[in-house]
Amino acid sequence: MASHRIILAAILLTLTILGLWIPIALGAFAAGPIVLRDVGLYWGVMLLGMFGAMLSLSLDSSKGADARSRIYDFTTTRFAVPIARLAIGAGAAVLSVATVQVAVGTSQPWVFLVAIPAGFSERLVRRSVDTLASQAGG
């Protein structure tokens, strides 16, 4: 049951992140931050967030086998969890950059670097998986 929730969450997160480019391309956020007005910039910020997520994942993986829960090793979650982590990293990057652009009122290039540490929020997936494992008796 828990692995199905992880797979569904990964699919929905990925579809949402990928689907957001449609309103951006159609100009639905014309009055919003530049990251939500420029499709190329949107994809670039997402990639920076994914970079942060993969950096975080590699640091997490370096802790060894004892850092993984039983549910994390299920075959069905071996692909879903990394996909969910990438999607969360990408979404957090776009949200963080948009927030900084609005709060600071600038679109200077340094603002886009906020996307990399925002990608570290993918650690929420790891915590959710651990919580599901403990609820499942793992």
pLDDT by 10s per residue, the chain, length 138: 556 777 777 788 889 888 998 999 999 998 889 999 999 999 999 999 989 888 887 776 655 544 444 444 555 567 777 777 788 888 889 989 999 999 988 888 888 889 988 888 777 666 665 665 565 555
Q: Which of 107, 121, 108 is nearest to 37 (CA)?
A: 107
Q: Which of 137, 136, 44 is nearest to 90 (CA)?
A: 44
Q: For residues 10 and 53, is the Cβ–Cβ distance under 8 A?
A: no
Query: What pTM value is reported for the model?
Result: 0.72
